[in-house]
Chain A
Amino acid sequence: DAKTTQPNSMESNEEEPVHLPCNHSTISGTDYIHWYRQLPSQGPEYVIHGLTSNVNNRMASLAIAEDRKSSTLILHRATLRDAAVYYCILRDATGGFKTIFGAGTRLFVKA
């Protein structure tokens, strides 16, 4: 199964942009790239997903490399509420189940 690799932790200042990287060099052509985050004492929540093109939503942007072997989650202005563990995962678009969460990146936001 395809795996993702993320830094263990990152730090950001409040109201500055944050770029969270993810490597997925063994991604297959049918895999969607998903990002979830887990706030303290909560279950994970969906952030964004994409296949080939860059994506934007109200929470974040997702930049996908042309070869799809890496992606970057962009939080345009980090707030203290964005402090969480961010997971980059791959999901098979054909409906088959392939989801490995991994340890994620713990984001610290400084006021």
Chain B
Amino acid sequence: DADVTQTPRNRITKTGKRIMLECSQTKGHDRMYWYRQDPGLGLRLIYYSFDVKDINKGEISDGYSVSRQAQAKFSLSLESAIPNQTALYFCATSDLGESRHDEQFFGPGTRLTVL
């Protein structure tokens, strides 16, 4: 089984709808992240969480919200989806650990299309 799972893998929705993307991990990591990827732009950080009680905005948090329900679960919500939120969304986890290099492990991605 994959260590980082994302649901759904694909979603088509309409403008104005509320959408939730879910991420679960079995790696036991404290840190979790949400990124979006647009063609030719690499990955941009939306939100990140270093533990259950910690939520931080990334580069592009406007129009998004998150919930860290447990150490293993981190959800991303689009309260009112708009077409320019059409993108590939990745969840990632990491654990600072003794090495302190904080390697990130990524999920398979969720392709979201907003019509």
Interface residues of A (CB under 8 A from B): 32, 34, 36, 42-46, 49, 87, 91, 93, 95, 97, 99-104
A84 vs B101: C-alpha distance when bound (angstroms): 23
Across the interface, do B96 and A95 meet the contact criterion of CB distance under 8 Å? yes
Q: Provided the pairs A101-B42, A102-B42 are in contact, do residues A43 and B92 lie with their beta carbons within 8 angstroms?
A: yes
Count how many chain B residues have C-beta atoms less than 8 Å from C-beta atoms of the other chain: 25
Across the interface, do A103 and B41 meet the contact criterion of CB distance under 8 Å? yes
Which residue of B is nearest A42, CB measured? B108
Q: Tell me the total A-B contact number using a CB cutoff of 8 A.
A: 47
Chain B 31-75 against A: per-residue CB contact (8 Å), 1 yes, 0 no? Answer: 000010000111111001010000010010000000000000000
Instruction: Find A34's partner among B4, B44, B101 (CB 8 Å cutoff).
Output: B101
Instruction: Find A95's partner among B45, B100, B105, B107 (CB 8 Å cutoff).
Output: B100
Which among B41, B56, B102, B107 has the highest number of chain A CB atoms within 10 Å?
A: B102
Question: For residue B50, which residues in chain A have a CB less than 8 angstroms away from its CB?
Answer: 97
Prevailing SS type, chain A contact patch = loop
Question: For residue B108, which residues in chain A have a CB less than 8 angstroms away from its CB?
Answer: 42-43
Across the interface, do A103 and B40 meet the contact criterion of CB distance under 8 Å? yes
Q: Provided the pairs A34-B101, A46-B103, A97-B56 are in contact, do residues A103 and B42 lie with their beta carbons within 8 angstroms?
A: yes
Smallest beta-carbon distance A21→chain B, Å: 17
A87 vs B41: C-alpha distance when bound (angstroms): 11
A34 vs B56: C-alpha distance when bound (angstroms): 22
Question: For residue A36, which residues in chain B have a CB less than 8 angstroms away from its CB?
Answer: 104
Which residue of B is nearest A32, CB measured? B101
Across the interface, do B106 and A45 meet the contact criterion of CB distance under 8 Å? yes
Query: Closest 4 A-B residue pairs measured CB to CB?
Result: A43-B106, A101-B43, A101-B42, A103-B42
Question: For residue B92, which residues in chain A have a CB less than 8 angstroms away from its CB?
Answer: 43-44
A32 vs B59: C-alpha distance when bound (angstroms): 20
A101 vs B45: C-alpha distance when bound (angstroms): 9
Across the interface, do B101 and A44 meet the contact criterion of CB distance under 8 Å? no
Question: For residue B107, which residues in chain A have a CB less than 8 angstroms away from its CB?
Answer: 43
